[in-house]
Amino acid sequence: MSRIVVKVGSNVLTRADGKPNVTNMSALVDQIAALRAHGHEVILVSSGAVACGRGAITPSRQLDSVASRQLYSSIGQIRLINLYNELFGGYGIVVGQVLTQKDNFASRDSYLNQRACMFTMLDNGVVPVVNENDTASLTELMFTDNDELSGLIATMMDADTLVILSNVDGIYTGAPSDPGSQLIACVEPGKDLSAFVVAAKSGFGRGGMGTKCGIARKVSDEGVAVIIARGDRPRVLVDVIEHPDSVPHTLFEPSPRPLSTLKRWIAHSGSFAKGVVHVNAHAAEALRNDRAVSLLPVGVTAVEGEWEEGDIVTVLDADGVRVAMGRASVDSATARATIGTHGHKPLIHYDYLYLE
């Protein structure tokens, strides 16, 4: 049995006129039901709320982008979830809605709370249908897109595989529309992809291939296989899991060295870091070369920001390049007082350090 997170984009779930694409949605539900019948656990991360709401109402006056996102998502989300409920109901499968936002991943307590909730759902045979809480998210604190959200969910839930269903077959060596471009079947851990990615945005969704690639790399580095495939191919979801040779896709192979849940959380908390710790060349080298070393005050050259013990901080080298992130074992005042000195406890203990 494996645990699979499936992310489906707005372009697959909605039609150009902003109505739900019932054909694609019911094909998706059929396949999730088939995977469950074969013993897999499935979590669905579904976009499409905003796109679907847009087709349902014409606002009485011109709205700014925040107000229209809130209005459309409030309407579209229930349309989507009602359809999922009905379609899964046809298989006797119970669905539950999880609406979340970035701050729920910022503190460890809310992260673990959310994680526990979703495990309870899975233990009870419920399919979690996850989306960003677009009515409440603050613009500056939104997920880049649901690709980012699905990556967070996949690592948080210790998934074996994240499948991102998009409107292209995967990552190409050039623009997908260019006949000379080739689909990259497999991306090994550490392979440099920057030359290939065409950061073209598509249709209604917020994401593009650039973000997909970045997320896929990060999530696979954390031990989860990531598959990018085209969502409107018949049986694509079942095939990429059970007969991968029969369907075009890009696989990001999982890194053989999965991180602990704590380190995964730290790895994804970059945007919540409360402070910055600058280290000298010697400390940066030690951190980069020895994967089991703690950050000691002696290697610290400067400290920025105010934080409490337990908050996340970013570690930068002398050139300002990020070396690591971690959970500080002392507050910022103590960190400042011990800059460059010996004989104090580590500023970040190895167990709480996530190296780039």
Footprint of ligand GLU on this chain (CB under 6 A)? 10, 47-51, 73, 131-132, 134, 145-146, 205-207
**Which residue, 27 or 99, has its beta carbon nearer to ligand GLU?**
99
CB of 71 to ligand GLU, least distance (A): 12
Q: How far is CA 120 from the centre of its chain?
A: 21
Strand pairing class (161-166; 95-100): unpaired
Asked if 164 and 216 touch (Cβ cutoff 8 Å), the reply is yes
Among residues 73 and 155, whose Cβ is nearest to ligand GLU? 73
d(CA 154, CA 168): 21
Distance of closest approach, residue 160 Cβ to ligand GLU, in angstroms = 23
Say if residues 193 and 171 touch (Cβ distance below 8 Å). yes
**Of residues 41 and 134, the one with the C-beta less far from ligand GLU:** 134
Give SS3 for 305. Answer: coil
Closest CB to ligand GLU among residues 134, 239: 134
Dist CA 95 CA 206 (whole Å): 25
Shorter beta-carbon distance to ligand GLU: residue 47 or 329: 47
Q: Which is nearer to ligand GLU, 7 or 327 (CB)?
A: 7
Whole-angstrom distance, CA of residue 317 vs CA of residue 320: 5
Backbone torsion region of residue 53, taken as left when φ is above 0, otherwise alpha when ψ lies between -120 and 50, otherwise beta: alpha
Cα distance between residue 160 and residue 162, in whole Å: 7
**Shortest CB 56 distance to ligand GLU, Å:** 13
